[in-house]
Amino acid sequence: MKVLDRREHLRQRADYTYKFNAKTGRHGWLRLTPAYSLKVVEELIAGHDQAHRVFDPFCGTGTTALSAAYHGHEAVTTDINPFLVWLAQAKTAHYSPKDVAVTRDACAAALDLVKRRAVDPVPAPPIHNVERWWEPKVIAFLCSLRGAISAATAEPSVQRTLLLVAFCRSMIKLSNAAFNHQSMSFRNDGQLSLDLGVDMADVFAADVRFVLGGAIENPSGMATVMLGDARNSAATVKGPFDLVVTSPPYANRMSYIRELRPYMYWLGFLVNSRDAGELDWTAIGGTWGVATSRLVDWVRGSGRFESDELSQMLDQIASAENKSGAVLANYVARYFDDMWTHFRGLTPVLAPGAEVHYIVGNSTFYSVLVQTELLYSQMLTALGFDAVECRAIRKRNSNKKLVEFDVVGRWNSG
Ligand SMILES: C[S@@+](CC[C@H](N)C(=O)[O-])C[C@H]1O[C@@H](n2cnc3c(N)ncnc32)[C@H](O)[C@@H]1O
C-alpha cells in the first residue's frame, strides 16, 4: 500500500468542499453540509472517460451521480436517508421546457394564494425550539407558503418537487441558521441570515428562478437514485460498475440527520425526534439521540474488522481519562465494522479492474488520531484490491492532524 502524504504542503481548500458547489447550477440548489466538492468529483470523473457505469453507495446530495450524468455516464447511487434520495432524484431528473413553464405558473399561483390568505397554513414543523429557528413572522409566511405549494400542485408532480426545492432554499435563508462552522448552528450575533425588511415572497420567487435555471440544464446521462443500505449494496443495485466515487460518513460523530432536520421536518420526512434517532442509528457513524444511548451496551459482532492498528486506537480511546471513553471506543469500532461490511458487500457489484475512490477524513478522539484512511487501505488490501493508495487532498481545518484523503484501489477479481 502506498501512502502519499504531503501534509506539510496541504492547504485548507474551500474549492475542495461543498462551498464550491453553491454557485454551480443544480449542484447549488441546496447548500448542505454533507456534500463534498464538485471539483474533486469532476476531476476524478473527467479522468475516467471509459467508465460507463459509475456507482456512489453514499449518495448524500447526489454530487457524484449528477456529475457522472453530466459527463454522459450511467450513474447509480444509494443513500439511507429518504430526504437525500428525494433531493438527488430531483437534481438528476430530466425536465422539459413545459415542466419549467408549468412550475413557473404554479409558483405564481402559490404566491397568489399566500397573498390573498386563501390557503390553510400547514402546522409549524415539530422541530425542537422552533422559535429559535425562525421569527414568528417568518414561520407564519413559511407555513402559508408550504400549504400553498400543496394546494397549487399535485402529488406527485414535477411542479411540486421543484417548488419544494426552492422552498427549502428560502426556508434556510429566512432562518437563523449559520454556516460558519463545519455543522449547521445558530447565528450568535442575533442577526438573521436575511434582512426581514425584504419581501419574503420575492425571496421565494428568486429561489424558484434559480432552481428553474438549473432544471433546464439536463444531463445527457441517466442517473438512478435509490433508498438503500451501503452495508448490502447488492440488495439494492445491479452491477457491474466500472468506477466508484464516493464520500462515506466520517468517524467524527457528525449526524446527517441532525444537520438535515429542518428540511426533513418541513417536508414531512421526519415527524418526531424519536424517529430522527432511529434513522441515525441505521446510518453508518450515526450518533444522535437514541443512537448514542444504544452505543453504551453495543458489543462487536462476528463480522468485526481485525486490525492491530484499530485495536490500539480503540484501547487508547477507551482508556482516555474521560467518562465517555468507553462509549466513544464503541462508536469508532461500530463505524469501522460497518465500513468493513460495506466493502465486503461492494465487491460483488464491481467489474474486474473497477477503480474505487473513497474521499474521507481522519479524526481525533481525546488526541487519539483515528487514521480512517489507513484502515480503509487495510480493508481494501485484505479484500484483494490492487494499487491501494491514500492520496492526501486537503487540510480540513487549522488542526494540522486533520486531513482529507482519497483512498484509491483497483478491484482485482482474480
Ligand atoms: C459524506 S455524506 C455523502 C456526501 C455526498 N458525497 C455529497 O456530495 O452530498 C455520507 C452519506 O452517507 C449516508 N449514509 C450513512 N449510512 C449509510 C448507509 N448505511 N447506507 C447508505 N448511505 C448511508 C448519509 O446519509 C450521508 O448522506
Residue 35 beta carbon below 6 angstroms from any ligand 1 atom = yes
| Closest ligand 1 atom number to CA of residue 60 | 27
Please write the tens of the pLDDT for every residue from 376-397. 999 999 999 999 999 999 887 7
| Closest ligand 1 atom number to CA of residue 284 | 16
pTM: 0.93
Residue 336 near residue 317 (C-beta atoms within 8 A): no
Task: Kindly report the protein residue whose alpha carbon is nearest to atom 3 of ligand 1.
Answer: 60
Residue 229 beta carbon below 6 angstroms from any ligand 1 atom = yes
> How far does residue 85's CA lie from ligand 1's centre (Å)?
10
pLDDT computed for residue 38 by the predictor: 85
Backbone φ, ψ for residue 386 (5° rounding): -100, 170
Which ranges constitute the DSSP H helices of 216-284? 256-266, 273-282
DSSP 99-160: HHHHHHHHHHHHHHHHHTT-SPPPPPP--TTHHHHS-HHHHHHHHHHHHHHHHHS-SS-HHH
pLDDT computed for residue 6 by the predictor: 46
pLDDT computed for residue 10 by the predictor: 59
pLDDT computed for residue 342 by the predictor: 98
Pocket test for ligand 1, best of 38, 58, 244, 346 (most atoms within 8 A of CB): 58
Residue 281 beta carbon below 6 angstroms from any ligand 1 atom = no
For residue 282, count other CB atoms closer than 10 A to its CB.
13
Residue 350 beta carbon below 6 angstroms from any ligand 1 atom = no
pLDDT computed for residue 320 by the predictor: 86
Pocket test for ligand 1, best of 20, 59, 86, 349 (most atoms within 8 A of CB): 59
Calculate what percentage of the chain has a pLDDT beyond 90.
77
Q: Which residues of the chain have pLDDT under 70?
A: 1-23, 34, 178-197
DSSP letter for 48, please.
-
